[in-house]
Structures are given as C-alpha cells and as structure tokens.
Amino acid sequence: MTWSNIAFLVLGLVAGLLALIGVLDSTRGTPVRKVLPFHTKQLPGVGDAAFLETMELVSRTPLSSGNGAEIFWNGDQTYPRLWDDLRRARTSITMQMYYCKPGRMAETLKEILVERAQAGVQVLFLYDWFGTSFKKKYVQALRDGGVRAERFRPIAIMQLNKLHHRAHIRVVCVDGCVGWTGGFGIDDKWFGNGRSKDQWRDSNVRFTGPAVRQLQAAFAACWAESTGELLLGDVLFPPPSTSAGTVQAGLMHGSPSIGSTEAERFFALSIASARTKLYITNSYFVPDRDFRNLIAAAARRGVDTRVLTVSRETDVKSTWYAGRARYEELLKAGVKIYEYRPTMMHAKTLVVDDRWCAVGSMNADNRSLSFNEETVLMMLDDAMTSTVERHFLDDLAYADQIQLGEFMRRGVVERVKEFAAHAFWRIL
C-alpha cells in the first residue's frame, strides 16, 4: 500500500468518524429515565415545602414571590395588550422570536419598533435564522429605523454543529419591567379567537416582578452568542418591583446540553410529583419512552392524567402521526387523550394538582427537551393554576377524546404513517 493510499484511508476514517459524531449529536435524547426519592418514601408533592427547593435545584431556576401574571389563550387577547406594552416603552425593548412571517402582524410590529427606536428607546430584536422568513428588505427597514436586528445561529460552515439547535424561545421585555413568553409568534395565523379554523389556539403569559429579570437574562445569553456583546446595566435590569403581585414564579431558560437539560428535569419532576391531577396541553406531543412511562405511572397511581394535543388541523402532520404511534400504551395505562378539533392547538401548558402550573414555549418532544432554547414561566400559585386549569377544561369542549377501542380499529394506512413518522421522533 502506498503512502497516498494510506493517507486517503486515514482521511476517510476521520471523515467517517466526524460524520458519526454529527449523527449521534443531532439525534441524541435526554438521559433521565426515573425520578427517585433518595432515602425517603415518596417525592414531595407540589403542596409540600420541599417541592419548591427541589424544583429550584433541578431546574436551576429560583422562584421568587412578588410577581404579577396574566394568562391569555388567543390572539384577540394577546396582541392588543402586547402592542400597548411595546408602545409604552420608555427605555428599552428586547425581543427574541422563533417564528416570524411577513403579513399584517409583522407590519404592525415594524411600525411600533421603529417608532419607539426613533423616540430614543433602545430596541434589540433577535430572530431565529431557521424559524423566520422575513425578507432582507423588512430587516433592513428595521435597522434603518434604529432597531438592532440580529439573526440567531445563521447557517455557516463553522457553525454547522449548531444547525439543529434553534431558538424556539419567546422573549419580550419592556423597560426591563414587563415580560412576555408563551407560544406566540409574528404571523397572521395567531390573530383571532383560537376557536375558528386558521386562527391558532395558543397560551401566552404577561408578567411583572423578579421573573422578568430572568427572562431578560435568557435574552442576554442569546444576544451575547449572536453579537459577542454581553448586555448589563440598570436599563435592561432595573431593580424589580416589590409590589408587582403575589405570584411565586420563576422563568426557566432551557438550553441545549450534551447531558440532562433544565427542561427535561423540570418536566420529569413536575410529572412525578403529581398526586391528584396532571393536565398537559402541548401542540407537539411526542414524548420519548421514559417520559411516556412517567406519564403512564402517574395515571396508574390514581392521578387524573389528561393530555390535550393537536388533531388533523396540525401544521406538522409528521409530528402528529409520530405522537399517535404511542397513544395506545398511554391509553391502556389510563391516560385520557384529547385532540383539539377547530384549529391548530399550539399551546404549551402544564397543571399539577391545584398548586403548580407552567406556560411557555416548550413542547413535549425531543427537540424542545434536548436541542432548543426554550422559556417557561413556572408558577407555584393557587389562583394561576386555577386559571390554567380552567382554560384546559374549557378547551375539552372543543376536543375529541380518543377512545382506546375505537383507536385500535384504525386502518393499516394510518398505522404505517404513524410507524414511519415515529422512526424520526428524535429530530421532529
């Protein structure tokens, strides 16, 4: 064998090794399989004092009292209030969005951001390279108007390892005092009542108090990665109001990791801590085997366990089929599954017992738990949990419950679609 052949062989082996590393990295899952109480009989319930400390430790998110929160479940409620907050900005607006598309909503946003920037407000806008379809002309108009508009993780040879790590995050901070997160985006399909076709049903939360600083910190981390600028100072991080409200809350920033993530640990502990009820609303419900086991275990121990997800009105049929591929094992365990009938259900909420709830951007799939930047407002509060639960129960009137016997009689074609889609569950 000549030296040139040896060199080509070595290069081929290196290339193959690098390709294998890339495939393994882009298809990895999360490692948590069980939630075990160590040297105790059971995990603390959400009403126990130990639950708060445990959740803070595993999610790396302090929960502080003194927050105010309002939850909105459609565009008719969300955008008038959001536009009003943006128009009232006096010192700063920071905004990071995943999904942005040209249309009436985008034009309204541009008008507001440019007007505020020209009034002397510092306006920083960070948009995901993959999820956003704004034209260059639109972005340039923002920049010409004084808005700092930057892409998050654009495609580049030296950043191909980040290609599948997206900013699914939703961040709006106004004057460092008002925060918004949830599932909303900048596209006309989010307008409407959430009950009519092509008017998406989504859950969003507006909040004030200490949790806003955590949301701002999530933005600052992503801005630093995109621009090299670490943002500090009282303009973006003013002292939190001590009289914003009575809600105990924390803003979790889930971020990719080669191991266990904050998002995974938050979700696992929340499910495992349920004693009486577990209500999950999620648009892309494709939990892995370990999370299915956790959800099924909740139902088997007598927890009223319900999942509300999308129907054929989904915008991503492959994800819907992948989720349905594992309905049977959940239904057999006693989990009640509902599919929202009128339109796309895009909400991501959680209710545990009568005390713990969450609203955010995180889906119940491997992409959100392993690969994406996500934001979730976690709340340990009776009133807010009651509100999220009420929205959940109201939605059930517009949903079809999946019955095990009927579901098992579905046709071969449906089963083949489910099998094929589920084969790619790690990357959906």
* CATH code, 173: 3.30.870.10
DSSP state of 239: P
Amino acid at 5: N
Would residue 152 count as lying in a domain? yes
Helix pair 49-59, 262-272: axis angle to 10 deg: 160
If we measure between CA atoms, which residue out of 341, 268, 321 comes closest to residue 298?
268
Which residues of 18-91 form beta strands (DSSP E)? Answer: 64-72
Tell me how many domains the chain contains. 1
If we measure between CA atoms, which residue out of 101, 202, 92, 225 comes closest to residue 152?
225
Q: Could you tell me the pLDDT band of residue 39, with boundaries at 50, 70 and 90?
A: low
Q: Tell me the per-residue pLDDT of 304-352, one tens digit each, with 9 for 90 and over.
A: 999 999 999 999 999 999 999 999 999 999 999 999 999 999 999 999 9
Q: Tell me the per-residue pLDDT of 273-306, one tens digit each, with 9 for 90 and over.
A: 999 999 999 999 999 999 999 999 999 999 999 9
Would residue 320 count as lying in a domain? yes
User: Residue 170: is it exposed, middle or buried by C-beta count within 10 angstroms (0-12/13-18/19+)?
Assistant: buried
Q: Could you tell me the residue range of the domain that residue 365 belongs to? A: 40-427
Would residue 11 count as lying in a domain? no
pLDDT score of 18: 73
Q: Are 324 and 250 in contact (CB under 8 A)?
A: no
Would residue 18 count as lying in a domain? no
Amino acid at 14: V
Res. 6: pLDDT tops 90: no
pLDDT score of 7: 75
Q: Rounded to the nearest 5°, which phi and psi values hold at 171?
A: -135, 125
- Report d(CA 293, CA 288) in Å as an integer: 9
If we measure between CA atoms, which residue out of 203, 202, 177, 127 comes closest to residue 377?
203
Both tokens assigned to 265: 């640990």
Would residue 268 count as lying in a domain? yes
Both tokens assigned to 173: 């901070």
Both tokens assigned to 170: 């939703």
Res. 17: pLDDT tops 90: no
- Report d(CA 162, CA 26) in Å as an integer: 9
User: Residue 151: is it exposed, middle or buried by C-beta count within 10 angstroms (0-12/13-18/19+)?
Assistant: middle
- Report d(CA 224, CA 15) in Å as an integer: 32
Q: Of residues 158 and 261, which shows the higher confidence score?
A: 261
Would residue 34 count as lying in a domain? no
Strand partners, 70: 206
Would residue 248 count as lying in a domain? yes
Q: Tell me the per-residue pLDDT of 352-391, one tens digit each, with 9 for 90 and over.
A: 999 999 999 999 999 999 999 999 999 999 999 999 999 9
- Report d(CA 270, CA 184) in Å as an integer: 23
Would residue 340 count as lying in a domain? yes
